[in-house]
């Protein structure tokens, strides 16, 4: 089974799959939180969506596993992302990215090493996984790597060329 077959609901509760959300395009999968010091990365993620949106998508996965920094309801998360950062990319239901209840999508992602060579559990909010159109993991970036960092942009460009 491909990671793209994994079922996940959209933030509004509509059943979906990762493949539906990516629409057959490469994607940057990011665990997100509204009350984190890294939350301003939403702005960079939205700019990536605006720049590449016809051939690529960003997908945000709200997660409350890191110091309870995503405590809101789906409605509160949607309102915050829209009003504060103008987010237009898809957001999913709130999920776990680590532990016993880790969503299967992240179970498939965490074996990939990041830019430092570290694999394993997601370390914090805004960890980024770049997947190709077939769902293969092309790259992983630590939370502190900004969405528009040249290494992220180069990896996206390489997938799209």
Paired with 102 in beta bridges are: 96
CA distance 118 to 115: 7
CA-atom Rg of the chain in angstroms:
14
Query: Contact at 8 Å (CB) between 6 and 17?
Result: yes
Catalytic residue among 30, 36, 139, 156: 36
> Which bin fits 6, alpha (ψ -120 to 50), beta or left (φ > 0)?
beta
Please state, in angstroms and rounded to a whole number, the distance separating the CA atoms of residues 82 and 34. Answer: 11
Q: How many CB atoms lie within 10 A of CB 61?
A: 26
Task: Indicate the DSSP class of residue 156.
Answer: H
Q: Identify whether 36 is a catalytic site residue.
A: yes
Active site residues: 36
């Amino acid at each position: 089974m491909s990671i793209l077959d994994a079922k996940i609901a959209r933030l509004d509760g509509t059943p979906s799959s990762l493949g539906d959300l990516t629409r057959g395009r490469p994607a940057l999968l990011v665990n997100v939180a509204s009350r984190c010091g890294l939350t301003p990365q939403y702005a960079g993620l939205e700019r990536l969506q605006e720049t590449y949106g016809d051939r690529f998508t960003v997908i945000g996965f709200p997660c409350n596993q890191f110091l309870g920094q995503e405590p809101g309801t789906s409605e509160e998360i949607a309102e915050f992302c829209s009003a504060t950062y103008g987010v237009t990319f898809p957001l999913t239901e709130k999920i776990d990215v680590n532990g016993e209840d880790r969503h299967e999508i992240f179970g498939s992602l965490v074996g990939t090493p990041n830019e430092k060579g570290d694999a394993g559990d997601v370390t914090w909010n805004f960890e980024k996984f770049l997947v190709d159109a077939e769902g293969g993991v092309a790259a992983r970036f630590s939370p502190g790597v900004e969405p528009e960092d040249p290494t992220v942009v180069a990896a996206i460009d390489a997938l799209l060329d």
